[in-house]
A = this chain, B = another copy of it.
Amino acid sequence: MKHKIKALTIVLFTIGSIVFTACNTKNQEKMKTENNESIFPKGEKLPSDWFTGNAFLSPLVSQDKNNNFSAGAVTFEPNARTVWHTHPKGQVLLVIEGAGLYQEKGKTAQFIKKGDVVNIPENTEHWHGATAATKMVHIAITNFKDERQVTWLQPVSDEDFAEANKTASE
């Protein structure tokens, strides 16, 4: 009789543990899916002349008679970043997912994360992108001046990117 009770206890405890673990795993996967669903589609891969690593653009608004800007959602996978560049009439970044970096020439890089806003001045050499470890998605609102939006410059070297990751301020 004692054996039967012991066996039953073990069986039921095992069933309980399996159920507990299974329900935790299922919920974690469900949470992961729900939390990983980005707001906008990822869009098309951006050209490597202007974007190092895997960066994607989902266009949202084109320049028109009212909107003297274009806007898009840009996804940077870890390590991806723009090359150095300037905007003749500035640009606004609204970070909507993840965490990344923003750096102006001659200044320390800054960490930027979900909820941050960066108002980039005109004609200021800068770059932005993911960190080495984290993905980042931002909406970019880029103003036009005489039909131009951007002047692309040289890539951000791996050394400078590593330095930015190491020394960026919050």
Residues of A within 8 A of B (CB): 1, 4-5, 8-9, 12-13, 15-16, 19-20, 23-24, 27-28, 30-31, 34-35, 39-41, 60-61, 64, 66-69, 71, 89-90, 92, 94, 96-97, 114-115, 117, 119, 121-122, 139, 141, 143
Contact = CB atoms under 8 A, between A and B. Distances in A.
A16 B12 contact: yes
Contacts of A119: 61, 64, 67
Contacts of A20: 16, 19-20, 23
- Tell me the interface secondary structure of chain A in the complex: mixed
20 contacts: A1-B1, A5-B5, A9-B12, A12-B12, A19-B19, A19-B20, A23-B23, A24-B27, A27-B28, A35-B35, A41-B115, A61-B117, A61-B119, A66-B122, A67-B69, A67-B92, A67-B119, A68-B143, A71-B94, A71-B141
A45 to B, nearest CB: 20
Contact of A39 (B68, B90, B115): B115
